[in-house]
Chain A
Amino acid sequence: MTRVVHYLNQFFTGVGGEDAASTSPARTDGAVGPGRKLQALLGDDFEVVATVSCGDDYAAGEPKAVDEILALVKDAKPDVVVIGPAFSSGRYGLACGRLAAAATQAGLAAVAAMHPDNPGLDEAAGAPVVRSGEAAREMGPSLETLAAAVRKLVAGEDLTDAEGRLGKPARRNRVADENAARRAVALVLARLGGDREATEVPLPNFDQVTPAAPVEDLSQVTVALVSEGALVPAANPDKLESARATRWAHYSVEGRDSLPSGEFISVHGGFSTVAANEDPQRIVPLDVARELESEGAIGRLHGEYLVTAGNGTSVGNAKRFGTEWVADLRKSGVRAAILTAT
C-alpha cells in the first residue's frame, strides 16, 4: 500500500474562501474534497492517509509556512506527496510550487499540478510539476493527469511531456547508449529526414507577440516611458528588487523636465549602475521626451513612468508585468510606450 499525503488550500478542503485565507496549516486524516476523486483514480494500491491544508494568504505570504506544511506532511509518513491541482490560482500555485521543491529537497517523492502560466511553477525549482487546467471546472481531467503522474513517480520513472511534465526537469547524469558523435550524427540525419523537433537540449519557448498596429498620428496621442532598468527614487520606496523582480513600480514625472542625479538611482543588480546614477536620463529619457512633447512631436507625455528590474526575471512574472502595464496604461489613455531595456 502506497501512502499518499495530499496538499490542498483552504478552499478545496472546505475551510472557507477569502475570509479563511489567513488560516494556518492543518492536517486531517484521509482524503478530503478533490482528494476523494484522487483516491478513486489511484485505486486500491494507494491510500490517501492525510490531507494537509493551508490558507492561501498564509501559505504564500508567511515565510515559515512551507516548513510548517512540510512538517505536517512528514508526520503522516508519506510514500508520495501529491500537491494541488492549483489551476491558475497565484497564491495557491506559489504554495504548491514551494512545497514540491521543499518536499523533493527533503528526499520525498512529490508531484504538484498547476496551469503552465501559474507563477508557482518557477517556485518548484525543478521539482516535478504536471499540467492542470486553468480553473476548477477542469478538476476531473486535471486529477487524471495528476494521478497518472503519481503512478509513474512511485514506479521510479521520470515524468516527461507525455505525462504533462511542466518546467525544466532537474538534470540527471546517466550513461548514454552511444557516444556524443554518434548521437549528433543521428540528430543531423533525423533533421535531414524532416524531423525539426528532435534535440537533446530543448530551448525555452517564448510567446509569439502580435505587433500592435502603428500609431497614425503621434502628435495626437499620449506616450509613456517604461523601463526594466530599475530606476527608482533614491530611497527605493517600493523596495523594488535588484534581481528576480516580483513587482513593478510607477513614479510621477508630472512637472519635471528631467530626473535629477541623486534623486533617482538604478537599483538594477545586473550591470554597473554608475552611468545610470550619473544621469538617470540614460535609463529613462525624460529630458528629450519632454522636449519632443513641447515641440508637438507627441501629443502628451504620460504623467508617470513604469519600471521594474529585468534581471533574472522569470518569464511568468515578466509576462504578468507586461499584462499589468498594458492594462494600467490603457486605463490612463496611453496609446504607445517606449521601453528602455538594459
Chain B
Amino acid sequence: MLCNLTSIAIRVGAPRIVPTRGIPYPTGDPSLGLEQERAWRRTLVETALVALSTAVDKPTVFDGTVFDGSDQSDQSDETNGA
C-alpha cells in the first residue's frame, strides 16, 4: 500500500506500507521536474515490489532506507510535512 498517512495505514493494519509525499498524489510529486518525478515514482513502485517480496508479521513501513541507503529517506522527511 502506497500512501502518505502511514500512521493510519499502520493503525488499520495494512501489512506492507510505502510512504509517499502527499495525499493527492500517492505516486507523484508535482514539485519535481517531469523526469525527476518519474524517477521518484519508479523508486516508489520498486520499493513496493521489495515490500511484496518481504515476509512481514505486522504492519511494516518500507521507506527505502533499509534497501537503498539513506538518501531517499532524507528527501522524504523534508517533504512529508507538505
Tell me which of A239-247, A277-285, A325-333 binds B: A277-285
- Which residues in A have their C-beta under 8 angstroms from that of B57? 211
Contact B11 A288 (CB under 8 A): no
Chain A: interface residue total (CB-CB under 8 A): 40
Q: What is the 8 Å Cβ interface bit string for chain A, positions 201-240, against chain B (1 contact, 0 not)?
A: 0000011110111111010000100010100000000000
CB distance from B26 to the nearest CB of A (A): 4
- Which residues in B have their C-beta under 8 angstroms from that of A273? 24
Measured between alpha carbons, how far is A61 from B82 in the docked complex, in Å? 43
CB distance from A284 to the nearest CB of B (A): 7
Contact of A292 with B45 at beta-carbon distance under 8 Å, contacts A211-B16, A212-B15, A278-B30 already known = yes
Contact of A218 with B46 at beta-carbon distance under 8 Å, contacts A282-B26, A283-B25, A338-B2 already known = no
Chain B: interface residue total (CB-CB under 8 A): 37
Contact of A211 with B56 at beta-carbon distance under 8 Å, contacts A285-B44, A339-B1 already known = yes
Contact B48 A272 (CB under 8 A): no
Contact B45 A285 (CB under 8 A): yes
Contact of A218 with B56 at beta-carbon distance under 8 Å, contacts A341-B3, A342-B23 already known = no
Q: Among residues 33 to 70 in chain B, which have CB atoms less than 8 Å away from a CB atom of chain A? A: 37-38, 41-42, 44-46, 48-49, 52-58
- Which residues in B have their C-beta under 8 angstroms from that of A289? 45
Greatest chain B CB density within 10 A among A211, A214, A283 is at A211
Q: How many A-B residue pairs lie within 8 Å, measured between CB atoms?
A: 105
Contact A214 B24 (CB under 8 A): no
Q: Among residues 282 to 332 in chain A, which have CB atoms less than 8 Å away from a CB atom of chain B? A: 282-285, 287-289, 291-292, 297-298
Q: What is the 8 Å Cβ interface bit string for chain B, positions 1-16, against chain A (1 contact, 0 not)?
A: 1111100010111111
Q: In this complex, what residue of A is CB-closest to B9?
A: A341
- Among all A-B residue pairs, the 6 with the closest Cβ atoms: A282-B28, A211-B15, A282-B25, A341-B3, A285-B27, A340-B26
